[in-house]
């Protein structure tokens, strides 16, 4: 989001999942909140792969800020499976099937 290299849908998707995640953490007894958070995380993994692969700039136009920005987007994408696993464990702890 720092360099406006990725479209606004990338930022909207990730910030929406962040908002649902805050809601899921605040309501400890809600299975719906944690399930929506897990579903949102899984969906953003797919959309992040699509966004990064389509909007990755060519090597000639990579400034340091763009390189850092895309590196952080890839790092976020790599951490999402770990987050999905931890959210799934939270779902199981709350009594999910």
Distance from the Cα of residue 96 to its chain's centroid = 22
Domain extent, residue 37, equals 29-95
Helices (H), the chain: 8-26, 31-55, 64-93
The structure's pTM equals: 0.84
pLDDT tens digits for 6-46? Answer: 888 999 999 999 999 999 999 988 899 999 999 999 999 99
What is the number of domains present in the chain? 1
Provide the 3-class DSSP secondary structure of residue 56. coil
Predicted pLDDT at 1: 63
pLDDT tens digits for 81-94? Answer: 999 999 999 999 88
Determine contact, residues 33/19, Cβ cutoff 8 Å: no
Residue 46 located in a structural domain: yes
Residue 5 located in a structural domain: no
| Confidence grade of residue 2 (pLDDT, cut at 50, 70, 90) | low
Residue 11 located in a structural domain: no
- Token pair for residue 20? 């649902």
Write b or e for each residue in 68-86: b if 16 or more Cβ atoms lie within 10 A of its Cβ, otherwise e: ebbeebeeeeeebeebbee
């Amino acid at each position: 989001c720092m360099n406006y290299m990725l479209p606004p849908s990338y930022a909207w998707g990730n910030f929406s999942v962040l908002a649902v995640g805050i809601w899921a953490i605040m309501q400890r007894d809600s299975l719906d909140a944690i399930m929506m958070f897990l579903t949102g995380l899984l969906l953003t993994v797919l959309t992040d792969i699509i966004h990064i692969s389509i909007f990755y700039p060519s090597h000639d136009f990579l400034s340091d800020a763009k390189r850092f920005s895309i590196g952080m987007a890839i790092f976020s994408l790599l951490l999402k499976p770990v987050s999905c696993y931890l959210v799934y464990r939270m779902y199981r702890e709350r009594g999910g099937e």
